Structure 1
Amino acid sequence: MSAYYFPIKHLHVTAVVLSILLFALRAYWAVVGSEHLKNRVVRILPHVIDTILLVCGVILAAMVGPEQPWILTKIVLLIVYIGVGTIAIKRGRTPRSRLIAALVAVAVFAYIVGVALTKSPASWFVW
């Protein structure tokens, strides 16, 4: 393992925690129709955090070998999470649809975390 592995992994995990916390807050604001979503920091900060998360993830994947099935699973689920997340925060037409999308997005996110921890596409179902 490279000497940079653990610092990059730590930064990646920190970005994961910040990303889901900020997503949950923004999703809540989207469901209740809060004006906070229009705040410049609220619009920009998630992109900064998610860029850090993604860059660290790509570096880590390169270090462990991107051909791992669990890494491909995380990539596919990330695409699903992004799609459902946009419905939760921007594209959902009603508060109910935004709420349902937010709950699905959080479930997908939890599954991704399980894949990362178990190093298995089966995620939490391995244990």
Structure 2
Amino acid sequence: MGDTFLTLRTLHMTCAGLAIAGFVLRWIWMLTGSRLLHTRPAKVLPHIIDTLLLLSAIGLVAIIGFFANAAWLGAKIAGLAVYVVLGTLALKRGRTKGARAVYGVLAIVVFAYIASVAHSHDPLGFLRAWV
């Protein structure tokens, strides 16, 4: 179990890092009007990375159990839903570039919250400092 857990955790953390780096890069490309945003790798790689991120998360939950960790895992899942909505608004659905810029910043903050919840196993993550 130990080796499998460490492997999945490493894969999960690597994919999370790649996912946020890819999001930020695509967000910058969108804001600057770069043609790179419309290339095949920019369209395909995020799906591959996100799929590996999700599969590794499922594997980790299978090992550690959901119910014993429901509070912080639930917070991560809720944060993920918010991040996906904000990310979509930042890259495609925001009406103006200004709105997309704001949504992008908010998506990055929510991603940081999710990472802090994962690190601390506390549903409040970095928000704990203000409570």
Q: Give the aligned partner of residue 96 of structure 1.
A: 98
Instruction: Tell me the TM-score normalized by structure 2.
Output: 0.92
Q: Give the aligned partner of residue 60 of structure 2.
A: 60
The one of 83, 86, 92 aligned to 1:84 = 86
The CA distance in 1 between the partners of 2:42 and 2:20, in whole Å, is 14
Instruction: Tell me the TM-score normalized by structure 1.
Output: 0.95
Matched residue type, 2:16:
V
Matched residue type, 2:38:
K
Per mean C-alpha deviation after superposition, the further-off stretch among 29-38 and 72-81 is 29-38
Note the aligned Cα RMSD (angstroms).
1.2
For each residue in 1:35-72, what CA deviation from the matched residue of structure 2 results, as whole angstroms up to 9, or x when unmatched?
11110110000110011011101111121111221001
SS at match of 2:3: coil
Q: Identity of aligned pairs, percent?
A: 39
Structure 1, unpaired ranges of 5+ = none
Q: Structure 1 runs of 4+ off > 4 angstroms? A: none
Per mean C-alpha deviation after superposition, the further-off stretch among 92-101 and 29-38 is 29-38
The CA distance in 2 between the partners of 1:62 and 1:95, in whole Å, is 41
Question: Does residue 51 of structure 2 align to residue 51 of structure 1?
Answer: yes
The CA distance in 2 between the partners of 1:101 and 1:90, in whole Å, is 11
The CA distance in 2 between the partners of 1:95 and 1:39, in whole Å, is 20
Q: Give the aligned partner of residue 42 of structure 1.
A: 42
Structure 2, unpaired ranges of 5+ = none
Matched residue count: 127
Q: Give the aligned partner of residue 127 of structure 2.
A: 125
Which structure is higher in helix share? 2
Matched residue type, 2:39:
N
